Structure 1
Amino acid sequence: RRRVDYLYSVCQKNGLVLDQACRNPSRLSRMPGAMRGEQKQYLLETNFGKANWGEWKDWVESVTDDLPDTESMAAAWENMPELSPALIEGVLRQGHKMLLAGPSKAGKSFALIELCISIAEGVPWFGRFRCAQGKVLYINLELDRASCFHRFRDVYTAMGLNPENLRNIDVWNLRGASVPMDKLAPKLIRRAAKSGYIAVVLDPIYKVITGDENSADQMAKFCNQFDLVCRELGCAVIYCHHHSKGAQGGKRSMDRASGSGVFARDPDAMLDMTELEPTEAIRTQMKNRAACAACCELLDKRGHGDAYGTDDALSKTQMLAICKDRLGQADLRMLDAEIERAAAHAMEKTAWRIEGTLREFARFAPVNLWFDYPVHQLDSGLLEDLQPETDFRTAGRAGAAKRWAATDKEDTAKKNRKELATAFEACTMDGEVTVYAMAEYMDLKPRTIKQRLKADGGYWIDGEKVGRKEPGYKG
């Protein structure tokens, strides 16, 4: 009876509908040599098929599974399937998966909201990565409904965009109503099947994790739910996850996410955010820039935009002198307050570096950002020489790390001195040596050249002119 039941289920599964009421095993057979009406029955073939029931059962289950068939590479060679179009140029294709990992307070949620807006409006993400335009679903698992909508509006405003394509953004607020991902995936597929989304963003995934995040097999099953959503909806799935505890600078970018390594190896693109600690010189330069911007704004407002040039706008001292010459006491007092406010605001910004581990594209150069609440802004070059903090947990490793760091720092300093000397000598052939000439020769930015010249200590800088210090030089 069990075999007959199994046969009926196989037939049903493969489209052969039989009378389920007929359960007599003899009805499944025919008698060779006997007459059936006017026709004599006979065997078409003998000794074919499988040797026994067990072999046949294994065979029928192997050919009727839900897995795709194998394909010949020779057949596909001249008729290659088209690659999915890029959702984020150079990073992620449509229908693929992406993980954004980072520590607490990195602004990961803000970054994902910026991404949703970039996709909806068809503008570059972080001002760096171009995005395809289309509909996106943001699944909010952490914020209350009001906070989520206000955050979207604040980010839109800070990005300086007109909300011309708000209809491209749908929000599914699930705070307090979230379910494990294996239960959420079919509900999501059912709701979003006809919406035409090109991306679904889940923020954050710890709210829907099923099982132990340190278990590879359990996290593999969890991540398979993202594949299901991608396949059924034909859209990209983007989600964020937190770093493990401790400083992350000594780890590879793909090893910083908390839990099993499946998190880093499963997605088609993994972007990792690590914090950078700006030096005092960088902070000072930021405050000077903020002061110059405040001076320019007030001069323009009072009709004195012709009082300063491009070079003047780079010097706080020069801009303050121009302001004192052109503005009254009331404006100067207001300017002092604005400069103080702008300097304080500059000190509140945090610095971040994004590194990518990609499956479909070549790895991009690290991208440095400032998180100026509530948006991330592309760095202009101030952060390029900084490195993330490294955490060594034992005294032995800490000592070794210090020695390696000291050696690396010494080697870098020697290399920089040699390169500066070569560039300086080469530029003397054209007469007067300038920061811009050395920057062009070394293919670096002028501000980087200035920083290296000051760190070297063997050169003087007068405006943009550069010279070598003579013995006994006192400045």
Structure 2
Amino acid sequence: MIENGYDLLEVLEHIDPSDLNYQEWVNVGMALQHEGYDVDVWDRWSMNDRRYHSGECARKWRGFHGSGEPVTGGTIVQLAREQGWTPPYDPGTPLDWDDTISAEGVVVNKNWVEGREISEPQNWDPVAELIRYLETLFEAGENVGYVVKSYQRDDGGWNPANKGAYDRTAGQLIELLTNCKGDIGGVLGDYNTDAGAWIRFNPLDGEGVRDTNVADYRYSLVESDGMDLEKQHAIIRELELPVACLVYSGGKSLHAIVRIDAADFTEYRKRVDYLYEICKKNGLELDQQNRNPSRLSRMPGVIRGDRKQYIIDTNIGKANWTEWKEWIESINDDLPDPESLDDVWNNLPDLAPTLIDGILRQGHKMLIAGPSKAGKSFLQIEMCIAIAEGRKWLNWTCTQGRILYVNLELDRASCLHRFRDVYQALGWEPRNLKNIDIWNLRGKSRPMDKLAPMLIRRAAKKNYIAIIIDPIYKVITGDENSADQMANFCNQFDKVCTELGVAVIYCHHHSKGSQGGKKSMDRASGSGVFARDPDALLDLIELETTEELMKQQENKAVCEACRQYLDAHYKWEDELSQDDLLSSYQMLNYCENKLEKGQFEALQRTTEAVKKRAQSMTAWRIEGTLREFQKFSPVNMWFDYPIHTVDASGVLGDIQPEAELPPWKKASSAKKKSDSKRKKNNELKFIEAIESCNMGELPTAKMVAEYLSTADKEFPIRTVRDWAKRYGYDFQTGKWSTESVTEAKEEE
């Protein structure tokens, strides 16, 4: 059977069962069962271990049951890797789906650590030992579990014989011990001195001794019996484990009761997994069966064979779990050492190659910020295509190379069609489609701290020079208004840049409200970290166009459509003046006389389409804040769906965003809009009155005035006559002398 391209039976041959602990051995069996193998495979492989017992595999096999998180063949592959197996076609270990990029957590080299001696107490007081243990770990009112009965195993060792007691509180036990005159057995019950006794380190609810009976997930047991006691002691100390109580078991191991301070069982499991992983990385191989919060540990103050079980120390290492975890993650920060400028002054490193001329270098970060309807995704697709083809993006030349577009928002079909639509609108031949990879993750995206390692794994061997992530709101972790949380979020982009040596480009939305009066760095929504973190910030803001300007664009579009049609069918340029070429009226008039009827009708359909397209265009300005290059002059452009085109004519240069207008001009502009709207409303009222006041017959001015009057106010006949003159209506003939009616209704 194949797992990730590997034959599991072949992989199993590279695992020595004698090097596995009990839980790892069980995991191999569960993985084999999950992948459809027979128990005989597990049994034959297990025979290579001196601990093998005939029939044990079959008994365990029958007890395996499916779960929500099954052990799969990947576990076998991982165990083989840990024992040194590396397939020839896959060097190294890839990141797992849920891996995050973090410090290694290695503090101790067990091969070089010097052992730390432990010594039996000179004046050993069993009762004082046990009282000290109880006072250190428990509150007076908390129930304590312990076991004094035992039975001997076939190998000569001893195990707890029953669940033991769990109905007494620490306070009750301390009081009884204080008055027992040295007779611990009189308080707890007699124990076998060959076996010793056991105690549970977490408080119980008084109802039982299972994990569900744990009242507070306060501690975990760290025990390693695979190395010298002195080395165990040294590593525990070197690791600064937050140990509440360190006990000698009377055998081959120390028992460290480590502070976990978990809120619930889920958090307890996560913290214990982290603790055990750190211990493993630092050479402290732990018994995996000790993970349970209800686990028994060795009780101090009792005899075990010819040795005593006693407390070595209390409250050592870091004060609590949080302090210890922060220390572990900071001790291995992988930061470079400071360097002297004098050492590198005459041999400075090369700057990273430019990706977008005058804007961005390879290996750096760029943020594109803007409001909705700015076409930010189209803008990034245009950039993606420009890099793939090695052409200009807006005003800037792009280095040609391979690029990954991470699509988090669009369904796959829509995204692929957008790329084709943009290619066609640009009028470019798609000669380098092999340079564009698209990773469609709609509905499958992860938070950025989870997505980053997955992205790195997939991109590691692709030689990308840029990665575009669109949009980032899909992968934001934490509160976007929190500076520290957003700093951590943005650090994930740094990791991608550093690991892959690529530029990372992403977009974000503006905050609500008018943006014109703000600096480009302050327009992006959320914390200011967004704008200050990237090496290049390109910010889009919409320009408010006038009706006259849009008429000009419509005129240009019609002239261009006529010119293209004529170029395709006739030789004609000498027949029109330069002024005629700039007039849509003259161009259409010329075409009507020049073309056949069918041709002209086809041209009319085309010009109607380009007029509508021109009417839907929006105007935008790009401003930049750059870390590596000089500031560029704002770039004005049109968003002519689906692409952006630079305003070469300069007509947008004088337009100011609304909030940037001086106060007097803003007031004047608002008044003009209000006046225009009022006039249009008056015109519509007048048209309605003419059509309705006399049931379709010719009305008089008096009839119209009466129609417009209300119960509270009589409408002046003089105003009716003024409106008739203004809007071109003749009461005598009932005719309109202008196109007011049509235009007003169309606008409505």
| Both proteins in one fold, TM over 0.5 | yes
Alpha-carbon distance between aligned partners in 1 of 2:510 and 2:559, rounded to the nearest angstrom = 38
User: Does the 8 Å CA contact 1:12/1:18 hold for their aligned counterparts?
Assistant: no
Q: Which residue of 2 aligns with 1:90?
A: 358
Change (3 A) 1:247 1:358: same
Indicate yes or no: 2:465 matched with 1:368: no
Which of 179, 196, 208 pairs up with 2:475? 208
Change (3 A) 1:18 1:159: farther
Deviations 1:240-279 (A, max 9, x none): 0000011211111111000000000000000001111211
Q: Which amino acid aligns with 1:86?
A: T
Deviations 1:366-412 (A, max 9, x none): 11111111111111212111112229xxxxxxxx96247679xxxxx
Indicate yes or no: 2:646 matched with 1:354: no
Alpha-carbon distance between aligned partners in 2 of 1:133 and 1:281, rounded to the nearest angstrom = 40
Q: Which residue of 1 aligns with 2:228?
A: 22
3-state secondary structure, aligned to 1:390? helix
Deviations 1:300-322 (A, max 9, x none): 23313233355532233442443
Q: Which amino acid aligns with 2:499?
A: E
Q: Which residue of 1 aligns with 2:437?
A: 170
Count of aligned pairs: 365
Q: Which residue of 1 aligns with 2:655?
A: 386
User: Does the 8 Å CA contact 1:97/1:226 hold for their aligned counterparts?
Assistant: yes
Q: Which residue of 1 aligns with 2:609?
A: 341
Shift of 1:150: 1.1
Structure 2: give runs of 5+ residues left out of the alignment.
1-105, 116-225, 235-316, 319-326, 669-748
3-state secondary structure, aligned to 1:172? strand
Alpha-carbon distance between aligned partners in 2 of 1:255 and 1:125, rounded to the nearest angstrom = 25
Alpha-carbon distance between aligned partners in 2 of 1:242 and 1:141, rounded to the nearest angstrom = 15
Indicate yes or no: 2:337 matched with 1:69: yes
User: Does the 8 Å CA contact 1:116/1:138 hold for their aligned counterparts?
Assistant: yes
Q: Which residue of 1 aligns with 2:122?
A: none
Shift of 1:323: 2.7
Shift of 1:283: 1.0
Q: Which residue of 1 aligns with 2:713?
A: none
Q: Which residue of 2 aligns with 1:443?
A: none
Matches within 5 A, 1:315-334: 315-334=583-602
Matches within 5 A, 1:245-260: 245-260=512-527
User: Does the 8 Å CA contact 1:11/1:18 hold for their aligned counterparts?
Assistant: no
Change (3 A) 1:60 1:317: closer
Alpha-carbon distance between aligned partners in 1 of 2:378 and 2:328, rounded to the nearest angstrom = 52
User: Does the 8 Å CA contact 1:269/1:356 hold for their aligned counterparts?
Assistant: yes
Indicate yes or no: 2:211 matched with 1:114: no
Alpha-carbon distance between aligned partners in 2 of 1:184 and 1:63, rounded to the nearest angstrom = 25
Structure of greater Rg: 2
Alpha-carbon distance between aligned partners in 2 of 1:258 and 1:63, rounded to the nearest angstrom = 35
Q: Which amino acid aligns with 1:24?
A: E
Higher relative contact order (CA 8 A, sep 6+): 1
User: Does the 8 Å CA contact 1:119/1:134 hold for their aligned counterparts?
Assistant: yes
Q: Which amino acid aligns with 2:354?
A: A
Q: Which residue of 1 aligns with 2:695?
A: none
Alpha-carbon distance between aligned partners in 1 of 2:405 and 2:624, rounded to the nearest angstrom = 22
Deviates more, 1:369-378 or 1:16-25: 16-25
User: Does the 8 Å CA contact 2:114/2:231 hold for their aligned counterparts?
Assistant: no
Q: Which amino acid aligns with 1:21?
A: M
Q: Which amino acid aligns with 1:387?
A: Q
Structure 1: give runs of 5+ residues left out of the alignment.
1-8, 29-52, 392-399, 408-475
Q: Which amino acid aligns with 1:167?
A: K
Shift of 1:149: 1.0
Which of 194, 201, 213 pairs up with 2:461? 194
Shift of 1:329: 4.1
User: Does the 8 Å CA contact 1:296/1:305 hold for their aligned counterparts?
Assistant: no
Which of 170, 178, 182 pairs up with 2:449? 182
Shift of 1:191: 1.4
Shift of 1:107: 0.5
Q: Which amino acid aligns with 2:360?
A: L
Shift of 1:185: 0.6
3-state secondary structure, aligned to 2:351? coil
User: Does the 8 Å CA contact 1:304/1:326 hold for their aligned counterparts?
Assistant: no
Change (3 A) 1:123 1:18: farther
Shift of 1:158: 1.1
Which of 406, 431, 439 pairs up with 1:139? 406
Shift of 1:156: 1.3
Alpha-carbon distance between aligned partners in 2 of 1:61 and 1:242, rounded to the nearest angstrom = 33
User: Does the 8 Å CA contact 2:471/2:507 hold for their aligned counterparts?
Assistant: yes
Q: Which amino acid aligns with 2:109?
A: Q
User: Does the 8 Å CA contact 1:134/1:168 hold for their aligned counterparts?
Assistant: yes
Alpha-carbon distance between aligned partners in 2 of 1:27 and 1:211, rounded to the nearest angstrom = 40
Alpha-carbon distance between aligned partners in 2 of 1:263 and 1:280, rounded to the nearest angstrom = 36
Change (3 A) 1:174 1:321: closer
Q: Which amino acid aligns with 1:402?
A: P
Alpha-carbon distance between aligned partners in 2 of 1:216 and 1:185, rounded to the nearest angstrom = 20
3-state secondary structure, aligned to 1:245? coil
Shift of 1:189: 1.0
RMSD between aligned residues: 3.1
Alpha-carbon distance between aligned partners in 1 of 2:382 and 2:232, rounded to the nearest angstrom = 69
User: Does the 8 Å CA contact 2:113/2:231 hold for their aligned counterparts?
Assistant: no
Q: Which residue of 2 aligns with 1:420?
A: none
Q: Which residue of 2 aligns with 1:402?
A: 663
Q: Which residue of 1 aligns with 2:156?
A: none
Deviations 1:100-142 (A, max 9, x none): 001111100111111111111111112x111111111111111
Alpha-carbon distance between aligned partners in 1 of 2:432 and 2:541, rounded to the nearest angstrom = 32
Change (3 A) 1:218 1:310: same
User: Does the 8 Å CA contact 2:401/2:435 hold for their aligned counterparts?
Assistant: yes
Shift of 1:146: 1.1
Q: Matched residues, percent identical?
A: 60
Change (3 A) 1:363 1:329: same
3-state secondary structure, aligned to 1:351? strand
User: Does the 8 Å CA contact 1:155/1:375 hold for their aligned counterparts?
Assistant: yes
